[in-house]
Structure 1
Amino acid sequence: MRFYEDLEVGAVSRFGSRLVGRDEVVAFARAYDPQPFHLSDEEAAKTHFGRLAASGWHTCAMTMAMIVEEQERTGHQGLGSPGIDELRWRHPVYPGDTLRVETEVLEKRRSRSRPEMGIFRAETRVYNQDDVAVLTMVSNAMVSTRDPDGTD
């Protein structure tokens, strides 16, 4: 089990491996981001992408899936997130890419109004199989404390 007290500022975690499938790219785009370069090889070839590219929102969803898998594996006591401060799509994600995640804890603090939870900021970096960053974000997350009466 991983609680607020177990988080260390500066700690980096590396995890995940997700193969991006063409059918998944098209299905996600059809449902949530139906721009032509996410749906059609021919239309994508006419753009700066050069070929079918995954939606950035799909990349976010795949990233979240890998984060949750890691939280389940480590017993992380996450309580959700109040939001993302920064999100950048750095490089297109294409069918056939394999994605992985790195997270770094930037800062943490106990909630003043809810002592049973802590809040931390983390930078998340997602890379493809060539170690090219495809997504970066800085997010805020809430996590259970082991000891609500404790101090940092």
Structure 2
Amino acid sequence: MRFYDDIEVGDVRRSDEYRISKSEIVEFAEKYDPQPFHTDEAAAENSVFGGLVASGWQTAAICMRLHVESSEDTATQAGVGVDDLRWHRPLRPGDSLRLRNEIGDKRPSESDPSRGFVTTYHDGLNQDDELVISYEATAMVRRPSEE
């Protein structure tokens, strides 16, 4: 298990790839982001995107999954915030997404010595190494007990 004290600023991790399907895009959008360029291929053709695209929120949710899977060995207790979330290009049916995470900052908790806060910079890249999404996220990470 990687605890707060084991994490170094500058550490980089990469996730596996996640390939998204048209049916996933439509299903997510119908439930959470029912805009025509996410739910209707014909309407999407006439949109600024020129075709069906995943919701940015779905893209962020996929990144969350990729982050969790690539950092299962970290003693994360909870997320505390996301900053500078940007969608750079759409995720389309058949695209793959992978995540590159870099530790940007860490600080011990002032109120609880059993944890610290770690800020990670996230870049979601498609199969062509193009930036799709970026953000920084801060999480509480447990410190080992002094038993």
Q: TM-score range by the shorter chain?
A: over 0.9
Residue in 1 aligned with 2:139? 141
Q: Does 1:21 align with 2:26?
A: no
Query: How far 1:139 sits from its partner (Å)?
Result: 1.2
Query: How far 1:100 sits from its partner (Å)?
Result: 0.4
Q: Does 1:30 align with 2:50?
A: no
SS in 2 for 1:121: strand
Residue in 2 aligned with 1:126? 124
Q: Does 1:116 align with 2:110?
A: no
Pairwise CA RMSD: 1.3
Q: Which amino acid aligns with 2:102?
A: E
Query: How far 1:71 sits from its partner (Å)?
Result: 2.3
Structure 1: state its 5+ residue gaps: none
Name the CA distance, whole Å, in 1 between partners of 2:107 and 2:116: 6
Name the CA distance, whole Å, in 2 between partners of 1:81 and 1:102: 18
Query: How far 1:16 sits from its partner (Å)?
Result: 2.0
Name the CA distance, whole Å, in 1 between partners of 2:119 and 2:25: 29
Q: TM-score, normalised by structure 1?
A: 0.93
Residue in 1 aligned with 2:70? 70
Name the CA distance, whole Å, in 2 between partners of 1:7 and 1:148: 18
Name the CA distance, whole Å, in 2 between partners of 1:13 and 1:89: 21
Q: 1:148 to 1:57 in 2, by over 3 A?
A: farther
Query: How far 1:70 sits from its partner (Å)?
Result: 1.5
Structure 2: state its 5+ residue gaps: none
SS in 2 for 1:80: strand
Name the CA distance, whole Å, in 2 between partners of 1:145 and 1:24: 38
Query: How far 1:15 sits from its partner (Å)?
Result: 1.3
Residue in 2 aligned with 1:12? 12
Do the aligned residues in 2 keep the contact of 1:103 with 1:123 (CA within 8 Å)? yes
Do the aligned residues in 2 keep the contact of 1:115 with 1:148 (CA within 8 Å)? no
Q: Which amino acid aligns with 2:50?
A: G
Query: How far 1:5 sits from its partner (Å)?
Result: 0.9
Do the aligned residues in 1 keep the contact of 2:14 with 2:70 (CA within 8 Å)? no
2:96 to 98, 106, 129: 98
Name the CA distance, whole Å, in 1 between partners of 2:146 and 2:95: 43
